Structures are given as structure tokens and as C-alpha cells.
A and B are shown apart, each in its own frame.
Chain A
């Protein structure tokens, strides 16, 4: 296997591990603490591109599905994926896919990356909120209040940090030949 392919496989595994670690890292901010998993999902899309970003997120979900405690709150197991927050977890895969696609499409310009992370974050909610509504039989209003509004401030911060970090780390990956 060529070393370039091997490197991207290892980096995708690393990003999956960072997503798992993100579930254990909290930054207290107001009543809802910021959990860093989706920061690493956005980063996976920005740094590895759409395909490998999505694969990396898929591996994270697989490890959670087999029962390892890698989801928020040290949870794991297939039931958690199919539970009320499962939509957000599946949304992660699409988020990495679209974030990677859009940032490449905009040639990694700042404005393009902002559009990419905003779209990526919204994709998580576009899958997570309807899923939450269907599983818990909530009204749309309640689903938005419980599953989206309290997290918007934290997500804005995470999106901003994802861009800052991607721009700081990308030169390192360019030297390794991941980004052309």
C-alpha cells in the first residue's frame, strides 16, 4: 500500500479518536457546556476532505455502535445510535462530507470555509431535530427548543475554532502531501 494512502488511513483513524476524546472535553459556557465532538467532525471535513472526513466519522460511529464509551456522556452501543440523539450522530457523517466538499470547492478561501462550516453545522440539526421529534413525539417547537436553540452559541464558537485550527494545522498536512 503506498505510504500516501496509508497516511490518510491513519489520519482518518486519528480524527475518529479525536471525535471520541471530544465527547470527554467540556468547555463550560452558560447553562449548556460545549462538547467538542462536532468541532472534530468539522475539522475532519476541513482537513481530510469530504470522502475521508465522512469515512472517519463513520469509523467513530462504528466504534460507538460496538459498545465503546465514545459518545457524549461516556455512552456507547447501537441503542444509543438509534435513540433520540441518533439523528445528530448520522448528521455528523453528512456534516463532514459537505464541509469537506464545500471547502475544497471554494479552494480553502476563508469565506468558503465559513460557508462550509455553517452548512455542515446546519446539516447536523437538519437531521438531528426531525429525528428527535419523531422518536420522542415532541412538537416542532419543543424539538427546536430542546435540540437546537441552546446549542447555537456553542456551535458558532466551535465553527470559528474549527476554521482557526484547520488553518493552523493545514501547512503541516501540506508538508506531508495530504493537501495539494
Chain B
């Protein structure tokens, strides 16, 4: 379930206080390194993740507990790759229809996706939705003809809906299973009975949020002062850029 993951968790750590724009650029740099297939990048990103997670002081127990959904998903992907990739059979488990190449590919995919997920959870946990919105506004402001405020609002709303709808999807799936809905042979009916309740609940949620925004007098035409990034906040970013540059060089 996604009740805690991909949500802001209040705190007063260095990561919570770090300027959201710097966090955002750092997050983009790290996700760019995760595209590489070199083990050294994976090791660097893993060590950095453990360090940042410890630094953030966010509670790990509920976070891991509620990341079960993704763990199951990643494990299924791993199993698919281990058993469906052709190659040399495993020496010690020759009776298993798995290959060495599949094991390596599955392991690397699990590792990479786990890191992408971990960094996303960490980033949203230490960044207030308002700060994320402001960071996006700052990023899109120089681009002409783009309604940067609306984009910022839509991104923060989408992230909020995403974790909430994942929860609802799990609940609907379980309710469907309890009523033997998953035993239906007709795929159109199966999708309909899964998606229609999710849609109905989500639209009701959306209506509530619309009224909440209207009640608070949401406007796009007010000028918003955007301050410069303070120098001390830029130092960790330069440091990260330097390390990434050094690893990339070697």
C-alpha cells in the first residue's frame, strides 16, 4: 500500500531543510546515473541512498512495511527475468529452468528499479508538495508561453492522487477478489469491475479537492516572489556533481 510512501513526512533534518530546487536538480542527476549499467554506479547510488536515508531521519519501519506492494511487484519482475531469459543453466541448480544471464539481468533490474523507487520515496518524503510545486515553477518560468503555475499545481496534485489511487486500487482488488470477481472469464468485465469503482471513488476525491482549492481562493495571476538559491544550499549540489563527474571520468 502507498499510504506513507510518496507522501511528505514532516521532519527537521538537513534533507528537509535543503532548498527544494537543489534537491530536485540532485534527484535528476542521480536518476540520470541510474540509466548506466556499470556496477560502480549502482554501488555509488546505493551507498549514497543509505547515507541520505539515514540523514533524513524518516521512520523506516512503516515505510518498508507499506512498500510491500512495490516489493512484490519488483520480485515478480525479477522472477520473470530469471526464468524467461535464455542462456547457460545454473551449475548448482541445473534442475531449475533458470539461466545465469537471467539471474544477472533480473538482479540488476531489481537493483536499479529498487533504487529509482527508493530515491523517489525519499525525495517526496523530504519535500513539501508546496516546495516541489515552487521548484517546478522556478524551473519552467524561463520557458515562454508555459503556464508554470498551473503545471506546478498539476504535478503536485498528480503525485497526491497517484499514491491515494494506488491504495484504492489495492482495496478494490481485494474486494473484487472476495466477491470472486477475479474468476470471471470475460476480460472486458474483469477490467470494468476493477476500473469503474476506482474511477468513481477518484472522481469524488477530485470534486472534494476542487472545492477545497476554490474555497481557499486559488489564483494563478498573483505575482510570486522567487528568491535566489542561498550559496550554502548549492555546496552539496556541487559536491554531488563533482563525485558523479569523477566516477564518470574513471
Contact = CB atoms under 8 A, between A and B. Distances in A.
A69 B116 contact: yes
A149 interface: no
Contacts of A17: 157-162, 164-165, 202
A6 interface: yes
Given A21-B162, A78-B32, A161-B192, A9 B153 contact: yes
Nearest to B169: A21
Contact of A63 (B34, B119, B159, B205): B159
A1 B199 contact: no
Contacts of A78: 28, 31-32
B74 A74 contact: yes
How many interface residues does chain B have, given as a range?
A: 35 or more
B155 A62 contact: yes
Interface stretch (A106-114, A119-127, A131-139, A165-173): A165-173
A81 B215 CA distance: 37
13 contacts: A3-B210, A14-B202, A17-B160, A20-B158, A21-B165, A24-B73, A43-B199, A59-B155, A63-B159, A67-B116, A161-B188, A161-B192, A169-B200
B202 A18 contact: yes
B52 interface: no
Contacts of B211: 3
A75 B120 CA distance: 11
Contacts of A7: 206-207, 210
How many interface residues does chain A have, given as a range?
A: 35 or more
Interface string B163-181: 0111001000000000000
Q: Closest 5 A-B residue pairs measured CB to CB?
A: A17-B161, A67-B31, A13-B157, A79-B35, A17-B162
Contact of B151 (A62, A74, A76, A157): A62
B41 to A, nearest CB: 13
- Which applies to chain B's interface (DSSP): helix, strand, loop or mixed? helix
Given A39-B191, A73-B113, A21 B151 contact: no
A2 to B, nearest CB: 9
Contact of A24 (B24, B30, B119, B169): B169
B206 A76 contact: no
Contacts of B73: 24, 74
A6 B218 contact: yes
Interface string A148-179: 00000000011011001100110011001000
A77 B210 contact: no
